Amino acid sequence: NAGVTQTPKFQVLKTGQSMTLQCAQDMNHNSMYWYRQDPGMGLRLIYYSASEGTTDKGEVPNGYNVSRLNKREFSLRLESAAPSQTSVYFCASRVLPGQTPYEQYFGPGTRLTVT
């Protein structure tokens, strides 16, 4: 049981390049989330997927797109990377409905630098 996995762990991009961050969970969770973490800013929600087939914007969605590929996988795409997107990106998933609400399980993060 790996929990939430993310790839890659580190990435360096040049301004204007594109890339996709991958996330997968093996806990049969319905909801999945993408956050970014910046010094002094805490964790901010980029996009979320409440259930397979649905996605919605969070607090800071500009410059990003997401795909909920299936129940296990939720990817985050940067179409044209900008230095302001330099950050640590975390994927998370939520426990099954009916259990304690709102608790989320996080992956180990992707450290992205855009030059």
Partner 1 sequence: TQLLEQSPQFLSIQEGENLTVYCNSSSVFSSLQWYRQEPGEGPVLLVTVVTGGEVKKLKRLTFQFGDARKDSSLHITAAQPGDTGLYLCAGPGIYGGSQGNLIFGKGTKLSVKP
Q: With respect to partner 1, which residue has the nearer C-beta, 69 or 88?
A: 88
**Cβ 15 to partner 1 shortest distance, Å:** 26
Q: With respect to partner 1, which residue has the nearer C-beta, 17 or 63?
A: 63
Q: With respect to partner 1, which residue has the nearer C-beta, 63 or 108?
A: 108
Residues β-bridged to residue 80: none
**Cβ 44 to partner 1 shortest distance, Å:** 8
- State CA 95 to chain mean position distance: 16
Residues engaged in binding partner 1 (CB under 8 A): 4, 31, 33, 40-45, 48, 50, 56-59, 90, 92, 94, 100-109
Strands (E), the chain: 4-7, 10-13, 19-25, 32-38, 42-49, 56-57, 64-68, 74-78, 87-94, 104-106, 110-114
